[in-house]
């Protein structure tokens, strides 16, 4: 579910909700496995009493600097966040909850229980393994091209590799490859610099389009709407056999391990 644009909108939602400056007075985690940092007890007791000092994002990860330490959040496949007022009834699938000193609650909602939580002494414990964020201005077209050119794996795999560039997931990888007319199975190193330049632009096009779309279509309570892959803002239908919106050939599905890629065999080369 949440890739870079979705997580960035969660970040903006948390800032709008004015959680910065609030203190966590109570914490509960229904599913202990979600806590990835050292010990579970240490997580729960460690976040209590901490004041939230900010909301940062790197790739698909949120890091909340606290007065001491950092609270890390990752949404997994189906995670989302809500800042609930005292009168708001609890949602279904709340897996963790942080009560604030103004009686609101930050709820981590995740049907599939794949979200992750950290309490870290240093942010590198949360995001240390990641490459630069896909929207980092330091990732210029030249840097992108040079980085990708070194890789022999299929380009789709390289885009999904968070240690190379962070924030691109399955949907936006497929979208960008479609826009740039590149076959997801193509080995990265065999793609010309010019076409990698097109891909760089396509990544920014699809991420920026999504960022704006999500911001302009909030849910009624102000949360970022969880856009689904079949939303009409997507250029590429995620269905095998659907006509390509550009050349009307039938789209194909290709499985890389356990992830599906959809692409057009006619205009993606």
Residues that are catalytic: 2-3, 60, 259
Q: Is 258 in the site for DNA (CB under 7 A)?
A: yes
Integer Rg of the chain from CA:
20
Query: Whose Cβ is closer to DNA: residue 49's or residue 243's?
Result: 243
Q: Identify the burial level of 12 via C-beta atoms within 10 angstroms of its C-beta, where 0-12 means exposed, 13-18 middle and 19 or more buried.
A: middle
Residue 204 three-state SS: helix
Q: Is 259 in the site for DNA (CB under 7 A)?
A: yes
Least distance (Å) between residue 211 CB and DNA: 11
Looking at the chain, how many residues does it have?
269
For the chain, the maximum distance between any two Cα atoms, rounded to a whole number of angstroms, is 58
Q: Is 206 in the site for DNA (CB under 7 A)?
A: no
Residue 42 three-state SS: helix
Instruction: Tell me which of 90, 129, 212, 248 binds DNA, using CB under 7 A.
Output: 129
Query: Whose Cβ is closer to DNA: residue 111's or residue 265's?
Result: 111
Q: Is 48 in the site for DNA (CB under 7 A)?
A: no
The token pair at 21 is 């400056």
Least distance (Å) between residue 40 CB and DNA: 13
Least distance (Å) between residue 228 CB and DNA: 3
Q: Is 123 in the site for DNA (CB under 7 A)?
A: no
Least distance (Å) between residue 21 CB and DNA: 28
Least distance (Å) between residue 113 CB and DNA: 5
Q: Is 60 in the site for DNA (CB under 7 A)?
A: yes
Residues contacting residue 39 through CB under 8 Å, at least 6 positions apart: none
Instruction: Tell me which of 23, 49, 53, 114 binds DNA, using CB under 7 A.
Output: 114
Q: Give CA torsion, residues 195, 196, 197, 199, to 10 deg.
A: 90
Q: Which of residues 149-178 bind DNA (CB under 7 A)?
A: 151-154, 157, 160, 162, 169-171
Alpha-carbon gap, residue 84 to 16, rounded angstroms: 13
Q: Which of residues 219-248 bind DNA (CB under 7 A)?
A: 226-229, 231, 238
Query: Whose Cβ is closer to DNA: residue 135's or residue 170's?
Result: 170
Report which of 218, 228, 247, 177 is spatially closest to residue 9, judged by C-alpha positions.
218
Q: Is 111 in the site for DNA (CB under 7 A)?
A: yes
Residues contacting residue 152 through CB under 8 Å, at least 6 positions apart: 187, 188, 189
Q: Are 229 and 213 in contact (CB under 8 A)?
A: no
Least distance (Å) between residue 103 CB and DNA: 28
Q: Are 116 and 135 in contact (CB under 8 A)?
A: no
Query: Whose Cβ is closer to DNA: residue 17's or residue 162's?
Result: 162
| The dihedral sign for the CA sequence 258, 262, 266, 269 | negative
Size of the site for DNA (CB under 7 A): 40
Binding site for DNA (CB under 7 A): 1-3, 6, 33, 59-61, 74, 76-77, 93, 111-114, 129, 151-154, 157, 160, 162, 169-171, 187, 226-229, 231, 238, 253, 256-260
């Amino acid at each position: 579910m949440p890739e870079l644009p979705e997580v960035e909108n969660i970040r903006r939602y948390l800032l709008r909700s004015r959680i910065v400056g609030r203190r966590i007075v109570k914490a509960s985690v229904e599913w202990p496995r979600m806590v990835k940092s050292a010990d579970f007890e240490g997580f729960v007791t460690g976040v209590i009493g901490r004041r939230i000092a900010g909301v940062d994002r790197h790739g698909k990860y949120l890091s909340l600097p606290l007065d001491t330490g950092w609270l890390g959040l990752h949404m997994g496949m189906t995670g989302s966040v809500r800042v609930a007022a005292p009168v708001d009834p609890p949602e279904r699938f709340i897996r963790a909850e942080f009560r604030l000193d103004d009686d609101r609650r930050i709820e981590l909602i995740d049907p599939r229980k794949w979200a992750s939580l950290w309490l870290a002494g240093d942010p590198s414990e949360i995001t240390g393994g990641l490459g630069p964020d896909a929207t980092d201005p330091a990732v210029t077209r030249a840097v992108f091209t040079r980085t990708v050119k070194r890789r022999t794996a299929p380009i789709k795999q390289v885009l999904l590799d968070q240690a190379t560039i962070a924030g691109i997931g399955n949907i936006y990888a497929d979208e960008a490859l479609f826009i740039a007319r590149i076959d997801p199975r193509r080995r990265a190193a065999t793609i010309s610099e010019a076409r990698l330049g097109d891909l760089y632009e396509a990544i920014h096009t699809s991420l920026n389009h999504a960022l704006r779309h999500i911001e302009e279509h909030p849910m009624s309570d102000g949360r970022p709407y969880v856009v689904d892959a079949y939303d009409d803002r997507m250029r590429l239908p995620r269905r095998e056999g659907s006509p390509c919106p550009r050349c009307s050939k039938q789209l194909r599905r290709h499985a890389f391990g356990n992830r599906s890629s959809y692409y057009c065999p006619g205009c993606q080369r």
